[in-house]
Structure 1
Amino acid sequence: MSAGETSEKKVGLRRQWLLCVLMVVAALLICVATGTSFLSLFASRLSVTQQAIAAFGLSAAACLNAWVGYKLASKRPIAQHTIESYSRLDLRGWNPVLLAPAAGIGEEILFRGALQTLLGVWLSSALFVLAHTKAYRFNGLNRRVLFQAAGLFAVSLVLGAIAHFTGLVVAIVVHTVIDITGLYTVRHVTSRSLMPNNSSKPTPLRGAA
């Protein structure tokens, strides 16, 4: 394997699902330490049918919002940086569908389940942003970092509200669908940018200053 191939090695399924397991274990430990039933994190005021309807409707709305957001901001450096960050994942074949539940399950159980129950939505959302420091390369206080951090915080607040009013399972489904949509978008954009003689001439993927 050449040095170039080594530097371009993608993050695969094993690592993402290992992180998922670690987050679930962390949530279990928090529940044990606080005397909270782990299963109680999944309690909902809605019936199973109502949760299914809520999951479908909110997921559809999230996909539409993601598509409109991408169309409006795809040429901006911040969007390019986000795409480049997620392009480090191995997105071949069915991997977007297999990768997304790892984040949806692990992050929702830890942040919206255990931590939100313990600390509230605001502080758990702040921790959610901090947990994504490496993924989004928050390497200083600049416009790009502040904008992305604010976006992550807002997403966490929305998912927190979904978990509170409809249940954790609905939040897991919505989070997973959002990530599937995002990862397929990233794969589409990066594959087009690598095509020779591409008439659309997309903006090269590079990090924002």
Structure 2
Amino acid sequence: MDDDSSQDTKWEASGRIPSREWLILSLMSFAVYLGISYLVFYFFHDTGPVKAYGHGLSVINQLITGIGSGVIGSAIIWIAINQAAVSKVLDDFYIIKMVRQSRLTSFDCMQLSFFAGAGEELLFRGAIQPLLGIWVTSVIFVGLHGYFKFKSPGHIIFGGIMFGLSAGLGYLFEYAGLIAAMSAHATYDVIMLKLISYEK
């Protein structure tokens, strides 16, 4: 009991959330995305979620396309967010600020990215996009992530960049497949989480 208490005090002092807690958060989020996806498919689609995987390239080609797209997307976003107008407002976005303060381990980055990529893409691209289209889905996606702020040109530019990224995932789903969108999202996330959390 004393060891656990002392460990908790260390975590509080360091400002670092333990990997176990990040993993629990990821699993809970994934379960929520999965549950909502199933409800959307049940009430608004004629087929189940498995059908969302049924179009596009072969699995291996989807993975290659997705990973390549994730690398390219993260390079473009990294360049964009390091421009003066955007870089000075990034801490106004809760997700960015939290990642910067959390000092994520490599395992944290990998598992957060995997579960976010799989869960969010199944919901937004697999379940919602066929009903609402790429653009409306992207508005919902970016809005729920808290990236729409209109305080300054930097805020607007960042929101627009993230909207473009979401739309890109939407097109990837349409033309390559759901696994491509998932792997692109996960690849983008793992690269950006590492870059942002290890920023000096």
1:23 to 17, 25, 33: 33
**Corresponding residue of 2:56:** 45
Secondary structure at the aligned position of 1:12 is classed as helix
Q: Which moved more, 1:163-172 or 1:13-22?
A: 13-22
Query: As a proportion of its length, which structure holds more helix?
Result: 2
Q: Structure 2: which 5+ runs fail to align?
A: 1-7
Judge conservation of contact 1:66–1:178 (CA < 8 Å) in 2: no
**Corresponding residue of 2:142:** 129
State the Cα deviation string for residues 168-205 of structure 1 (Å, max 9, x = none): 1000001000000011112211xx3xxxxxxxxxxxxx
**Corresponding residue of 1:60:** 71
**Corresponding residue of 2:3:** none
How far off its partner does 1:24 sit?
Answer: 1.2
What is the root-mean-square deviation in Å for CA atoms of aligned residues? 2.8
Change (3 A) 1:41 1:8: same
Judge conservation of contact 1:20–1:103 (CA < 8 Å) in 2: yes
What is the aligned length?
A: 185
Judge conservation of contact 2:102–2:197 (CA < 8 Å) in 1: no
2:126 to 94, 113, 127: 113
Instruction: Map 1:153-192 to 2 at 5 A.
Output: 153-189=163-199, 192=200
> Structure 1: how far apart are the matches of 2:157 and 2:86?
15
Change (3 A) 1:169 1:76: same
How far off its partner does 1:89 sit?
Answer: 4.5
Q: Which moved more, 1:160-169 or 1:72-81?
A: 72-81
1:76 to 76, 87, 99: 87
Judge conservation of contact 2:100–2:197 (CA < 8 Å) in 1: yes
Secondary structure at the aligned position of 2:198 is classed as helix
Change (3 A) 1:28 1:161: same
Judge conservation of contact 1:74–1:80 (CA < 8 Å) in 2: no
Q: Which moved more, 1:33-42 or 1:112-121?
A: 33-42
Change (3 A) 1:95 1:49: closer
Secondary structure at the aligned position of 1:50 is classed as helix
Identity %: 25
Q: Aligned AA for 1:24?
A: L
**Corresponding residue of 2:151:** 142
Query: Is 1:104 equivalent to 2:117 in the alignment?
Result: yes
Change (3 A) 1:150 1:44: same
> Structure 1: how far apart are the matches of 2:99 and 2:172?
25
Change (3 A) 1:127 1:166: same
Q: Aligned AA for 1:113?
A: G
Judge conservation of contact 1:12–1:89 (CA < 8 Å) in 2: no
Q: Which moved more, 1:50-59 or 1:22-31?
A: 50-59
Q: Aligned AA for 1:104?
A: G
> Structure 2: how far apart are the matches of 1:142 and 1:91?
29
How far off its partner does 1:54 sit?
Answer: 1.7
**TM-score calculated relative to the size of structure 1:** 0.75
> Structure 1: how far apart are the matches of 2:171 and 2:186?
16
